[in-house]
């Protein structure tokens, strides 16, 4: 999937249908002088419904269509005939889509399961026909209820990618390279910062035909809370991850300091992020000899509060151990 095709934020206007009017018809038939009221009910207006679809990964199919309007209910007619219901509109969205009211910014609901359906705006109820109102006192009511008007609102759809492992790191830490080696994903890789501008997903194949999903997001830097770099815009894509995998390059000046900076930025974004399982990976470790690895390990054993591994995506070092460790954490 190319970066231009990854759409994770869409605003739209949705409108349900009006309920149909009830009928105030009086029965007329040969040889029946006073047939009485027989007006039918109006039909229900159509709903606008969001439906989860596991085959979708982005909101790109909604990028150029921003207005959705359901059908109106038909009016009731004679013979107690109920009007037809208005056509419901179904909007398919990928799993992990959060729906907000654009005016209040409040969360309405989230779609997390395939086939799950949620009504965004309900169609108006159809009005009751005059035969509902006849009684011993009023035997010929000549009135019926109007249908209930439609609902409309502006909503915002935000996609939060559902992945098992989320890659966290500074720009050029090797996240995209690791994803390309472990999965069949083809993220953009280059020797300048902020190569990744959109999240990338890949499926990591494990032993015995098992697998798990890994997500790579654009790099975050110190001061992201103040909008530096790409800010916090993409951090919502790792809110649903079970494991946070911190990538720090072996040539970093201070590995522990870089980890603490990343940890602090996540804390400032959402403190609950730090309740997740965490693992630190020292990438590009093919540049290190055994002596340097030993020195770095001594420092990390003393100052780092989480487990760590040395890997090299290019030299294919430590990748099996990494997958074993991730699978263990996922199933612990």
Known binding positions for GTP: 169-176, 194-198, 216-219, 283-286, 312-314
138 three-state secondary structure: coil
Annotated binding-site residue numbers: 169-176, 194-198, 216-219, 283-286, 312-314
At residue 308, what are phi and psi to the nearest 5 degrees? -145, 160
Non-local CB neighbours of 121 within 8 Å, separated by 6+ positions? 14, 15, 16, 47, 48, 70, 150, 151, 152, 153
Burial 175-198, CB ≥16 within 10 A → b, else e: bbbbbbbbbebebeeeeeeebbeb
The residues with which 141 forms a beta bridge, in sequence order, are none
Asked whether the beta carbons of 203 and 211 are under 8 A apart, the reply is yes
Annotated binding-site residue numbers for Mg(2+): 176, 196
The residues with which 248 forms a beta bridge, in sequence order, are 282
Rounded CA separation 266/252 (Å):
20
Residue 263, H or E segment? helix 255-269
9 three-state secondary structure: strand
């Amino acid at each position: 999937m190319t970066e231009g095709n990854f759409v994770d934020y869409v605003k739209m206007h949705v409108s349900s249908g009006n309920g149909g009017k009830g009928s105030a018809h009086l029965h007329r038939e040969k040889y029946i002088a006073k047939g009485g009221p027989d007006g039918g009910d109006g039909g229900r207006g159509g709903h606008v419904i969001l439906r989860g679809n596991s085959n979708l990964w982005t909101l790109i199919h909604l990028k150029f269509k921003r207005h959705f309007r359901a059908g109106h209910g038909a009016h009731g007619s004679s013979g107690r005939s109920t009007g037809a219901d208005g056509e419901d509109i179904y909007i398919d969205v990928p799993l992990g889509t959060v729906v907000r009211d654009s005016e209040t910014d409040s969360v309405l609901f989230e779609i997390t399961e395939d086939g799950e359906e949620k009504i965004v705006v309900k169609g108006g109820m159809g009005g009751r026909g005059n035969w509902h109102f006849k009684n011993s006192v009023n035997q010929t009511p000549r009135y019926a209820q109007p249908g209930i008007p439609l609902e409309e609102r502006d909503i915002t759809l935000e996609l939060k990618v559902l992945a098992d492992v989320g890659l966290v790191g500074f720009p050029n830490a090797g996240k995209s390279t690791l994803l390309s080696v472990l999965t069949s994903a083809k993220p953009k890789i280059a020797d300048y910062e902020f190569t990744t501008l959109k999240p990338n997903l890949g499926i990591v194949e494990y032993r015995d035909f098992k697998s798990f999903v890994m997500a790579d997001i654009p790099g975050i830097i110190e001061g992201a809370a103040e909008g530096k770099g790409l800010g916090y815009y993409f951090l919502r894509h790792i809110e649903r991850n079970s494991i946070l995998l911190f990538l720090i390059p072996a040539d970093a000046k201070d590995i522990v300091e870089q980890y603490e900076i990343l940890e602090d930025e996540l804390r400032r974004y959402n403190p609950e992020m730090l309740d997740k399982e965490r693992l630190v990976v020292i990438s590009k470790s093919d540049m290190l000899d055994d002596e340097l690895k030993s020195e770095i390990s001594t420092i990390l054993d003393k100052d780092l509060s989480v487990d760590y591994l040395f890997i090299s995506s290019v030299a294919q070092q430590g990748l099996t151990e990494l997958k074993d460790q991730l699978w263990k954490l996922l199933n612990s």
